[in-house]
Amino acid sequence: MKLIVHPNFASLRDGIASLASNFETQGTVLYNKRNQVRLVEVDGTSLVVKRFKHLSAWRAFIYRYLRRSKAQRAYENALHLLQLGFNTPDPVAWMRAGRYYYYICMPSMKRSVKDELVLSSPYNTKLVEPYAQYVAQLHESGVLHRDCNPSNVLYEKPQDGTAYSFELIDINRMRFYEGRPVPKRACIKNLCTLFWEPKGVFEEVVKAYADARGWPADDYEKIMRAKKRSNKSYARGKHFAHPIHYLRSLLNAKSIS
């Protein structure tokens, strides 16, 4: 086992170390697909624990000796984000136990942007501009969240009517351009991952983003063209992943032509 605990939470070390032995019986499940996320209590403190999927022997070797694990990256990225002034749930620890890796952080009471811009109908138009400005601020500060979709951005609007506040989660896939903004090409590619549906939200967010960055109308058109190509590539990928769907699409295309 390897366990790195933030100094602020050193008193929880023994309790965190014991999580691996009975992880699946503790707390409340928050997410359970490829990875599992649980809300647990350790010595009276509520913690969010993300256990990454079980590794093959080869991947376990790579993460142990050649490359930082996702859990370690999440922990170190959280520290760096906080240093840069961007919010993320306070990092508590990361741990390796056998072929499992764990990332532990404090809970967040904020809601995901996805709840308001994707799952709600009609969507919350008041959130569009603050969200776009937040993504623009990340890029201008050299922060590239490679999976910056609305489910990985949490928000909160204070009751006193002040500005929205945001925080990032699922932060193991990030890149920091120290001392300079994210290159425009990388920004455009990143924007294309924000939304697949519903229609209209992406266009509004992109317009607000371009305004926040002071980009000309030509750059907005570049993003929309890139998004169109991205959607086509995504659709092709789904078809090839499901041959029956791909054949059906070919038959439909033939019948229309």
Q: How far apart are CA 207 and CA 93, in angstroms?
A: 39
CA-wise closest residue to 144 among 170, 166, 176, 191? 176
pLDDT digits (tens, 9 = 90+) for 139-185: 999 999 998 888 999 999 877 777 899 999 999 999 999 989 999 99
Considering the chain, what percentage of its residues have pLDDT values greater than 90? 63
In the prediction, which pLDDT does 254 show?
Answer: 37
Read off the amino acid at residue 207.
K
Orientation angle between helical segments 201-213 and 125-140, nearest 10 degrees:
50
pLDDT band, very low/low/confident/very high, at 88 (cuts 50, 70, 90): very high
The stretch 50-65 carries a mean pLDDT of: 76
Flag whether pLDDT at 74 surpasses 80. yes
Q: By the 8 A CB rule, do 66 and 59 touch?
A: no
In the prediction, which pLDDT does 237 show?
Answer: 54
The stretch 50-69 carries a mean pLDDT of: 78
The stretch 32-58 carries a mean pLDDT of: 90
pLDDT band, very low/low/confident/very high, at 235 (cuts 50, 70, 90): low
Q: Does residue 177 sit in helix, strand or coil?
A: coil
Q: By the 8 A CB rule, do 187 and 219 touch?
A: no
In the prediction, which pLDDT does 236 show?
Answer: 56
- Cβ within 8 Å of residue 207, ≥6 positions away: 132, 220
Q: Which residue has the tokens 């439909």?
A: 252
- Strand 36-42 to strand 28-32: parallel, antiparallel, or no bridges (unpaired)? antiparallel
In the prediction, which pLDDT does 234 show?
Answer: 55
Flag whether pLDDT at 245 surpasses 70. no
- Name the token pair of 150: 């609305």
Flag whether pLDDT at 252 surpasses 70. no
Q: Computed over its alpha carbons, how large is the radius of gyration of the chain?
A: 21
In the prediction, which pLDDT does 195 show?
Answer: 74
Q: Which residue has the tokens 């072929």?
A: 99
Distance of CA 165 to the CA centre of its chain: 16
- Name the token pair of 249: 């699409």
- The overall average pLDDT reported for the chain is 87
pLDDT band, very low/low/confident/very high, at 209 (cuts 50, 70, 90): very high
In the prediction, which pLDDT does 256 show?
Answer: 31
Q: By the 8 A CB rule, do 178 and 142 touch?
A: yes
In the prediction, which pLDDT does 67 show?
Answer: 79
Q: By the 8 A CB rule, do 74 and 146 touch?
A: no
Q: Where are the beta strands (DSSP E) in 88-217?
A: 91-97, 100-105, 111-112, 143-145, 153-156, 165-168, 174-176
- Name the token pair of 42: 């350790």
In the prediction, which pLDDT does 19 show?
Answer: 95
In the prediction, which pLDDT does 233 show?
Answer: 64
Flag whether pLDDT at 214 surpasses 70. yes
The stretch 24-29 carries a mean pLDDT of: 94
Map 83-122 to HEC letters: HHCCECCCEEEEEEECCEEEEEECCCCCEEHHHHHCCCCC
